[in-house]
Chain A
């Protein structure tokens, strides 16, 4: 029982199936070897006259299986090693790189608050630019981290009943300083209903934060981003609407592809990764949802994410 438990733990930790773990392969190949040896022995004792030949056959088969199992175990160990490195890399990014960037962000905030009055227009521009660039690097790192999280097996999903409105409020709070900086008002058209879906709340937040962040990034200053939730039959529909640069018809499907960046998007945000919408689509689909977009150039874009509705309270 202890062995199975440790296999389950390793499988969860390294994000690979139990049957691909080196310990599992080692035991399975050992059992296979015993079965083959016994079978060969019985077959040989009936078909081969010289007992030495039978022993030789059993030994030869056993050696072949041992070699094969060694190859399998070594490959599995290498996969584990790579997964460990991947995990460490993610930890390094999340902690070692984000920490100095956070200190920079906070120091700029202090600079903006305490010294801005003494700055010339040009100096204020420099400080704002540093803040923006820092935010962009942070966004890229967040994209990479989210990507690593999203690409984990769907068995890692922590599905529970989630109140969409509560998740949206948290996402709005997370982005409030960014919206304030970009002078965008987030208008949550929240009725008095709560829409409940079966979802992984963290992944739902990844989707909503990404769409909201895009809406804020591509909107004109002093405009508003609207977010709303409504039911449509047995579905819950989240809409995020901006009045930004828009996406042309040809690109409306392509924007969900990995690393794809629309022409307008490249001009407005030259340093994006092209991972955001790919990730949003992936997490939405992992939770049995769908995403679509409606857009008009220079009028704005509406993104809809649709999930099976559990109930409304």
Chain B
């Protein structure tokens, strides 16, 4: 069976590499984008199953990326998980209003929790 593809849009290398390693170890394949613009380009180019999206990004921030992807008819149902260290309720609300599947504050979650979240979202998507 083909591996599911996760697009990680994250500018900090340490964070990106750690996420990539854990997600790949969990049996997924990953695509990496280091800024918002590249993230949108790769999302449109590849048929990915889920996007992990940071908020503070160069070129286009996570909210702009989310807004643009959700406006694209082909991608409006694609699960997009906001993963950031901004924990202001106003940021969380904004992301959910824009259509984010869920909002994770990085520092509150272990890698195992994040992988579990991805598994659950994809499982729900299948049903």
Contact = CB atoms under 8 A, between A and B. Distances in A.
A103 B14 contact: yes
**Chain B contact residues (Cβ within 8 angstroms of A): what range?**
20 to 34
A141 B84 CA distance: 15
Interface of B: 12, 14-15, 18-19, 21-22, 56, 84-89, 106-113
A107 interface: yes
A99 B15 contact: yes
Interface string A94-108: 110011111101110
A145 B87 CA distance: 9
A138 B107 contact: yes
A107 B18 contact: yes
**Chain A contact residues (Cβ within 8 angstroms of B): what range?**
20 to 34
A67 interface: no
Given A103-B18, A107-B18, A110-B18, A94 B108 contact: no
Interface of A: 91, 94-95, 98-103, 105-107, 109-110, 138, 141-142, 145, 149, 158, 174, 176-177, 202
A100 B85 CA distance: 10
Given A94-B86, A102-B85, A202-B89, A174 B108 contact: yes
Q: Is the interface of B mostly helix, strand, loop or mixed?
A: helix
Contacts of B111: 106, 109-110
Contacts of B110: 105-106, 109, 177
A102 B86 contact: no
18 contacts: A91-B86, A94-B85, A94-B86, A98-B85, A98-B106, A99-B15, A99-B85, A100-B14, A109-B110, A109-B112, A110-B21, A110-B111, A149-B89, A158-B89, A176-B113, A177-B110, A177-B113, A202-B89
Top-8 shortest CB links A-B: A103-B14, A98-B85, A177-B110, A202-B89, A102-B106, A106-B18, A102-B107, A98-B107
A251 B30 CA distance: 53
Contacts of B106: 98-99, 102
A281 B108 CA distance: 23
B87 A94 contact: yes
Given A98-B106, A101-B107, A103-B18, 18 more contacts: A94-B87, A94-B88, A98-B85, A98-B107, A99-B85, A102-B107, A105-B107, A105-B110, A106-B22, A107-B14, A109-B110, A109-B112, A110-B18, A110-B22, A138-B107, A142-B107, A158-B89, A177-B109
A149 B84 CA distance: 18
A109 B25 CA distance: 14
A83 to B, nearest CB: 15
Contacts of B89: 149, 158, 202
Contacts of A145: 87
The CB with the most chain A CB atoms within 10 A, among B87, B88, B107, is that of: B107
A149 B87 CA distance: 10
Contacts of A98: 85, 106-107
Contact of B56 (A95, A105, A141, A176): A95
A103 B112 contact: no
A99 B89 CA distance: 18
Contacts of A109: 110-112
B113 to A, nearest CB: 6
Contacts of A138: 107
A183 to B, nearest CB: 15
